[in-house]
Amino acid sequence: MSIIATNINKSFGDPPVHVLKDISLEIKDGEFVALTGRSGSGKSTLMYILSSLDNPSTGTVEISGKDIAKLSEEEIHRFRNEELGFVFQAAYMIAELSVIDNVLMPTMKFDQKEKRRSSAEHLLDEFGLKDKMKRFPRQLSGGEQQRVAIARALVMDPKYLFADEPTGALDTESGDVVMNIIKEINAKSKTTVLMVTHDPDFAREAGREIHLADGAIISNG
């Protein structure tokens, strides 16, 4: 089982701008891969395509043996909800909900809130937020909010975690905490991680680095 991308091309606009150029790669289950490259090199676009959030212009993406373009709308929603976790540069909390209810958001879709509550609490405890579960997002620091976002990404126990510059908006210390959490998720739970990062130190901590330049892979491993 793995993520297999074959001859991915992506263009935007008219006239089309060719943003990803014939990208093929495989990410094996349990790997921790850093995706690096300059701003505008196509990292986020590639991550969205590998994680089913966007479609390639040509080429295929298989996740866990499924060609994601062939799934129905309902199948892809369920698959994303159950197997994929997402973290972005901003935490995107719902301001009106408590921390624990934010973490439980993904469980609502298929009515698993009560089943997942203890796991949500356990994640927040592990991430040093046991005492802050009933607070609201505005009462947390940026680093704490990002830890809540990671707990939310993990509450359904996904096989894959996709993170687009998860430390990008954080100070060094909070960034290190978030990075350590992501490393531990990969090491302990065997969650496959694809993380876009600007930070060469963080990239080195991943098991493999895929480097993009101008929409093409220039080094892979």
Binding residues (CB under 5 A) for Mg ion: these are 43-44
Q: How far is the CB of 88 from Mg ion (least distance, A)?
A: 10
> How many residues sit in the footprint of ligand ADP (CB under 6 A)?
11
Q: How far apart are CA 187 and CA 16, in angstroms?
A: 41
Alpha carbon distance 137, 30 (integer Å): 31
The CA dihedral of 62, 65, 66, 68, to the nearest 10 degrees, is -10
Q: Which is nearer to ligand ADP, 37 or 137 (CB)?
A: 37
Residue 39's binding partner among Mg ion, ligand ADP, none (Cβ under 5 to 8 angstroms by kind) is ligand ADP
Alpha carbon distance 153, 161 (integer Å): 7
Coil, helix or strand at residue 155 = coil
167 binds ligand ADP (CB under 6 A): no
Q: Binders of ligand ADP among 85-144, rule CB under 6 A?
A: none
Minimum CB distance to ligand ADP, residue 44 (Å)? 3
Token pair of 177, please? 């905490």
Q: Cβ of 172: how many Cβ atoms within 10 Å?
A: 9
The SS3 assignment for 216 reads strand
User: Which 6-65 residues touch ligand ADP, going by CB under 6 A?
Assistant: 12-13, 19, 37, 39-45
12 binds, among ligand ADP, Mg ion, none (CB under 5 to 8 A by kind): ligand ADP
Cis amide prior to 15 (ω within 30 degrees):
yes
Strands 17-28, 2-12: parallel, antiparallel or unpaired by DSSP?
Answer: antiparallel
In angstroms, give the least distance from the CB of 102 to ligand ADP.
Answer: 25
Q: How far is the CB of 168 from Mg ion (least distance, A)?
A: 9
Q: Which does 65 bind (CB under 5 to 8 A by kind): Mg ion, ligand ADP, none?
A: none
Report the interface residues with ligand ADP, using CB under 6 A.
12-13, 19, 37, 39-45
